[in-house]
Structure 1
């Protein structure tokens, strides 16, 4: 063997050997200071870090530990399209609130199977069938709205979206659903706040927040058990098309059925994720259009027709300027993960800062301006606008939520006059997981003598 050959052999790296760790830049502040800053104001922390260290940086985050934050669309694309064997759902995640049977708890092939199971009821023809539900629930809630007097729209929107998802999931109404209406709202409010805090080893009874959360869960499980018994006893069980029946009829690869606990966890995920974020976006939409008379007038004109292009653009722009869920996370499972020029080690988490991406001037001209026209006939690059997250973990109910928001806003526009206001913009308020209008999306409405269209 020649000397040249020997030299080449020595310099070729062995197969399957991960590259050396090369982390993005990080702050020199003590870890506890970084964690406290993120806990107090995650958005301001990201703004500060991107100014100092660029669009990819490392820092300490409460609960998640070592985190790489991504504020660049191309790097976000690389993460969202990565092999799911290399990166999975962030740890810990919402499954510690929603339960181990939630889709949030699953990764890899099991996660893919669950998404495939949940997709049909929230797409295509199924969503078309829900449109009448969206309109009915809006009109039912609107019957009690004050006329000509400012009121908070967030809580009414929460009730509309909760009732709509309850009817879609269970296919009917009744006493058990009334109980869920009493349980779910306070549970979501409390769970959203606790989701970003370390979980104690024990709940210490109902005097603590975690104890109250456990008490809500016990009440919820009792209701779901009753509903499962009712549905399984239905003579039309094999032909029902609601989500609960679909889960009851489903089986794992080995032919075994989903456990009641797993079904309860998955339904809780749909109920929690399926109403708070949608309601928050609707409240923001009312807050935004009431401060932009030209936008409002164009919406009113369109509501007299069967069109919805401008209404859809307005909702997209609302999601951009008032991003409700502003981070999507992944966790490194492979020995190392190459992210652009960086090499991230196993055990690190990565957070895509959605809110930051939605405000990039290179992607959105005059990003501080509320301008639905930017979405008329065009869309930004795929990974610059991701209100529902991206990749294999993109929200399974995104299409359902988009249609629901469209129908609810259309119904309001057709039955009420929305008064314009010169009041200052409402500040952004963190409910824990979601960002909502701090004053509740206050609006003044007047009933039309003759509804439009």
Structure 2
């Protein structure tokens, strides 16, 4: 006896039959191990054989359709969030249920409205001086004529910038956060790609250590919120914490302390690691491309920024720090191109694969900032920040920060070029960095 075809939620119309992209004939256990140990290489190898859409059975996400086509990515990013919503599980496992990463639908839209103002328009101009100050402070002791890695210095710059942007001033609590956040981010990034644990299994386990660091963080944030609420000039402050405390939703309600803590942690974590990783890749790439580096050094002495902006776009395209954007199918089925994906499946848009799409980017493996000079990046082919309603809320801020950091360093240092092979990829869990930390040799300029 044949099974009745599925029907829509109103029970009126039969739904199309499920039609999944091809799947490799690899045992689930092998897929899980390969994805966990080297998801980037695994995805690239499978894509070479199966094309721009294929199906996997992955740890954490279960049945998963991987998409590496800009046109199909557009369908996903523009889909109704009640049909295709937030991927499950997501980074709220480490950032908390009050993080924007945890929210979906109307709750997600409302939260984004609260978070958008500090990171767009005139607001971000207030942070340019902070970024330049932190860059000059970090680079004052850079060794001349001796190779060193740029990743850790960039991590310190971007963390200090986001701390000052979020809290507006220095103090003992911010010193504690400077000590606490980097190891927590490193640990949590690795735990985020592992299965969720219901227990921490003791304070000496990675999960126990992460829980203890989160407890310490919550205590610090509680003090900072108390200090801000008692500040007589709170209404005049322009930092993110003050804006959160002053902001209200459309119904007049405010964010809870727990939600503020989760959201601030999201900003501190996502707001420094990915930007620092991209900057390290920028130094790695530019030191191997003398023509681009010379042109950028000349431009840095002027008020122009067109080539620098183009170089940042090209670094983000060729050295993709976050390799996929995820969604979850909530509707009975989701039709995308020739495929019909059933409810409960995950969808991964492979950002790194789409960035190598030859139709959108001729000679895609070539590092060429000129491809973006006077040309806006393709909306659905250049997607380092994801796309649609879940595109990174801090994208504008991040690109401005990278622009100021690069300009400041190029004005004060000459970077040696090298013929050494490019650095390999290193996974920190969520983000990818240069394996050797983006190593360069510099000489201070006579300015």
**TM-score normalised to structure 2 length:** 0.96
1:317-396 maps to which residues of 2 (within 5 A)?
Answer: 317-396=314-393
1:198-220 residue CA offsets vs partner (Å, 9 max, x unmatched): 02110012210011001110110
1:330-349 residue CA offsets vs partner (Å, 9 max, x unmatched): 00111111111111111110
1:34-65 residue CA offsets vs partner (Å, 9 max, x unmatched): 22222222222222222322211110111111
Alpha-carbon offset, residue 385 of structure 1: 0.7
The reply to whether residue 274 of structure 1 matches residue 271 of structure 2 is yes
1:363-417 residue CA offsets vs partner (Å, 9 max, x unmatched): 2111111110111111342111101100000000000000000000000000111
Secondary structure, aligned partner of 1:186: helix
- For residues 27 and 54 of structure 1, the distance between their equivalents in structure 2, rounded to whole angstroms, comes to 11
- For residues 129 and 245 of structure 2, the distance between their equivalents in structure 1, rounded to whole angstroms, comes to 25
Residue 55 of structure 2: which of 52, 55, 58 is its match?
Answer: 58
Q: Which runs of 5+ in 2 are unaligned?
A: 1-9
Alpha-carbon offset, residue 254 of structure 1: 4.5
Residue 183 of structure 1: which of 170, 180, 184 is its match?
Answer: 180
- 8 Å contact from structure 1 (residues 147, 447) kept in 2: yes
Partner of 2:39: 42
Partner of 1:206: 203
The reply to whether residue 421 of structure 1 matches residue 418 of structure 2 is yes
- For residues 355 and 213 of structure 1, the distance between their equivalents in structure 2, rounded to whole angstroms, comes to 29
Secondary structure, aligned partner of 1:238: helix
Partner of 1:106: 103
The reply to whether residue 195 of structure 1 matches residue 192 of structure 2 is yes
* Comparing 141-150 and 101-110, the one that deviates more: 141-150
Partner of 2:299: 302
Give the paired residue count: 438
Partner of 1:157: 154
CA change 1:89–1:159 in 2 (3 A) is same
Residue 241 of structure 1: which of 225, 238, 247 is its match?
Answer: 238
- For residues 151 and 313 of structure 1, the distance between their equivalents in structure 2, rounded to whole angstroms, comes to 26
1:178-214 residue CA offsets vs partner (Å, 9 max, x unmatched): 1000010000000111100002110012210011001
Partner of 1:3: none
Structure with greater Cα Rg? 1
- 8 Å contact from structure 1 (residues 363, 380) kept in 2: no
Alpha-carbon offset, residue 253 of structure 1: 4.8
Alpha-carbon offset, residue 14 of structure 1: 6.7
* Comparing 52-61 and 86-95, the one that deviates more: 52-61
